Structure formats: C-alpha cells, structure tokens
Amino acid sequence: MSALKLTPETRIVVVGLGYVGLPLAVALAKKFNVIGFDISEQRVAELKDGFDRTEEIEKERLVASTLKVTSSVDDIKDAAVYIVTVPTPVDKKNKPDLTPVRSACEIVGPVIGKNSIVVFESTVYPGVTDEICGPILAEKSGLVCGEDFFLGYSPERINPGDKVHTVDKITKVISGQTPEVVDVLDELYCAVTTGGVFRAANIRVAEAAKVIENAQRDINIGFVNEITMIFQKLGISVYDVLEAAGTKWNFLKFTPGLVGGHCIGVDPYYLAERAKQINHDPRIILSGRAINDGMADFVAERICAQLSGNGKILVLGLTFKENCPDLRNTKAIDLIAGLKVRGFQVDVHDAAADPVEAKKFFNIDLKPDLAQLKDHSYTAVVGVVAHDSYKDIPGSEFERLLEPGGLIADIKAMWQNIEKPQYIRKWQL
C-alpha cells in the first residue's frame, strides 16, 4: 500500500458506538475527522442529544466533541480507516456468535475504498480477522484483501465504569497485514493514548493476547469461587482466609463473585471453541467457566440455608459490576432466579441500572428508592453488587428494612465492619 499520511482531515469511521466504540470515537475526534456509525437509530438520536446511556462519556464532553454520529451507511463511504467495535457474544449453548462481526463486515465492505484499512477491536479467537472478516470484506467490496485494502487488529481494553484505565491512558496492542499498516496504527493510536502501543508479531498473536487476558482472570476467579464453596461447607469465611493469605508477597489477590459481563464471562468460550477446532480439549478453561457459571446458584443455596421457611428478600444490585449501568450477561439474575425457585419473593434495587432496560431484558421492576420501602418487610437483604452507595448504607437502615431476626447477606464483603443490632444476623461468603 502507498503510505497513508495521517492529518486532522483524515477520515476515520468507528463502527459500533457502545461501551468500546463511543469512548474511542470521542478520543479520536480530538485529532481527526471522525464519524461514529451505529445501526441503532435510537442510539444515534440519543448521542446527538448529548445523552450516553452507558455513562462512559459525560454530556458536556459529548456535546463539545467534533464527533459526527450516523446510522446511514451513505455517510461512511471512502474513509481511510474503519475501526470495528461491535460485540462478540455467545449463544445459548455458549458457542461464539460472530453475527455482529459478520454484519459489520457486510456493512463496511461495500463502502471501503482503495487502500482503506479495516481494524477490528472486537474480542475474537485467533484467525477470525483473516479467515472470516477478510473474505467477507473482499466479497462485498470487490477488492483484493492485502492488495486493495488491508486488515488490522487492535484489541479493545475498555473496562466499563472504570474512570482510571480509560482509552486515553491504556497501552494499545496493534497489529496489521503489512508493516506499513502497523506504522499507520501506531501513529493513529499514539495520537489518542499516553499509554503508547505494543506491536504484536502479527494479527493472530494480537487476537490471542486479547482472548487470554480475560480467560486468565476467569480461571483465577474460578479458583477463588471453588475454595469459597469448600470453606462455606467448613463454616469459614473466604474473606477471612484471603485476608490472611494476602499477607504473603506473591499471593494473587482475587475475590469471589458472580462472573458476568461482556468479557470475562464470555471470552473464554471463544478460546475454547478455537481449541476444539484444532482437536484440543480445553479442560482448565472450561472448568473455570463451569465453576463460575454455577456460583450464583451456590450462593442462593447458601443464603437460603441461613433462613427458615419462605419470606421476602431484597436484592441490592443487578448490574454485572459495581458503579456501572451495564446489564449484559449479569449473573445477578441467576441468583435472583435461585432465590425464587427456593420459594422466596424477591424485590430488586439497583443504584446504577436503567429501570427500562431491567424491565426489557429481565422483566424486573426495580424498586426506585430504598427510603420508600416498607419498614421491617424483608427476611433478608442481599448485597450482590458493590456500588459505592451500597457500601455507605448504615446499620440503622438494615434495622428498618429487616424483620426481627432478619439476615444481612454480604456477598461482596461490603459490610464487614457495619454496626448492627444484636437481633439482626449477618452472613458473608
């Protein structure tokens, strides 16, 4: 390819304006002529009004940005660089669902031009970019991959709700079909991040690096969840054990929990699928997944073991992680189901979730305000997600909400030092 000279006028299109695409597009728009594309007309309309439902970009930044957003394919023709940031979920059988990536390629293919670079940030298993994406782009464009247009891969590292490790501070792994493509991506990403870039050996190495980042975390959390199950049956709190073990300098400080979300609970299945394709049994990867997928029901069983008979339970937290509105693949819903199937009525409150999305995705009517809940109406209050506002709940509020002899069930060790009346019980993992 002829060397691409990046200038403030260079036309860049970011495809997919979710948790990953929008922050990246806003950052790039400070340096280049950027168009953000999303198939959701509602999403585009909200962004034009300065509203980001993911809460990643504040209204003031969004309104001040030069980023243009659109849902029209005609608006994204002939860009120099296309960056694809669409989701990569799994289906009901935990098989990789590449439908969003394939659809993005079918949209981008007809509009790319000579020497366009198409970069993928979506998490995939090694081989997807060149084996699946490249051929679709070539078919839809009528151009030759590697000669007329070029592929790149730079895995996303967005952590929803994290205001520290933002896209303008993290190290970006980059890779491309040719050294010239890598040079362009180096200049492109260095323009938006102070964390610099790491040049991976090739596209498959970059894909593999991304997919093991979350698989490694999943396995480590799986180990902690398994020892939590063991220690619960021995009458020991895992948090007490971890506090003691953590005094050793090389002990890895992972904590137990419900592993959901769009990354840790999903990415290991992509690596496992690729392993199976080459006739390798990914035993450790799938073992970690099995433990973590079963954790919600285990916690439900342990909570119910502390209670006698049926009653009413208040669950605090529905999102997949703290201080974030993201409901994707949340395992809190599995815990709620486990409590219901054991005969309990369940009310749910979440300090960050969108009530409309909770109703749409899970048919749950979130309680709008803890202060409006009736006094002494719950058998147990279960802390599922460690939102900051939940950590600050005083003992007097539990006293008001719980029946005499009621239970505080602390999954995330939020209330280890809380002052509570003697007639209220407390249990933690």
Contact predicate 143/118, CB 8 Å: no
What positions carry a catalytic annotation?
263
Tokens of 71: 């849902």
Residue 166, classed as helix, strand or coil, is coil
Structure token digits, residue 1: 């390819």
State the residue for tokens 């029901």: 297
Q: Record the tokens describing residue 276, joined without a space.
A: 């199976």
User: Are the C-beta atoms of residues 156 and 85 closer than 8 Å to each other?
Assistant: yes
Name, in order, each residue with C-beta under 8 angstroms of 20's C-beta and a sequence gap of 6 or more: 85, 121, 156, 158
The amino acid present at 283, given as its one-letter code, is R
Q: Name the 3-class secondary structure at 327.
A: coil
Number of Cβ within a 10 Å radius of residue 178? 14
SS3 154: coil
**Distant-in-sequence, close-in-space partners of 104: CB < 8 Å, separation ≥ 6:** 15, 16, 84, 86
Beta bridge partners of 410: 383, 428
